[in-house]
Amino acid sequence: MAEKVFFGKGIRQIKKEDPQLYDSIENLDKNIWNANILDYRTQKLIAIAISATNHESSSFLKQVSKAKKELDISRDEMMDVLKVVLLTSGMIPFIHALEVVNKLYD
């Protein structure tokens, strides 16, 4: 399913080893993206922005890559997110996020 942003290989191993934990993560995930007002695209952009300010670069790369492919988010739209990162959180996360975005939208 499209909304499983964080569900890669690592999580699949949990499915075998600890099915109850897996189910509870899957269930939480489902309820997060099941928003009342915001559409899924906006929630994804918010997750991307949080990732950009989080200094965990593999998570940011994966999320931007998925968002580009599944939601067809354009470079301009991504740059509108990064601008907010720049103002709130400065050049350190902005430059890093910019490099990832430049690579993925080359």
Q: Which residues bind a second copy (CB under 8 A)?
A: 5-6, 8-11, 13-14, 17-18, 20-21, 23-25, 27-38, 42-43, 45-47, 49-51, 53-59, 74, 76-77, 79-81, 83-93, 95-96, 98-99, 102
Query: What would the two tokens of residue 1 be?
Result: 């399913």
Q: Quick one: 27 or 69, whose CB is closer to a second copy?
A: 27
Residues 54, 85, 60, 98, CA torsion sign: negative
Task: Name the residue nearer to a second copy (CB basis): 68 or 79.
Answer: 79
Shortest distance, position 67 Cβ to a second copy, whole Å: 13
State the nearest-atom distance from the C-beta of 12 to a second copy, in Å: 10
CB of 83 to a second copy, least distance (A): 4
Give the Å distances, CA to CA, from 79 to 13, 82, 97: 35, 5, 10
Distances (CA, A) of 76 to 27, 31, 98, 103, 105: 33, 29, 12, 14, 10
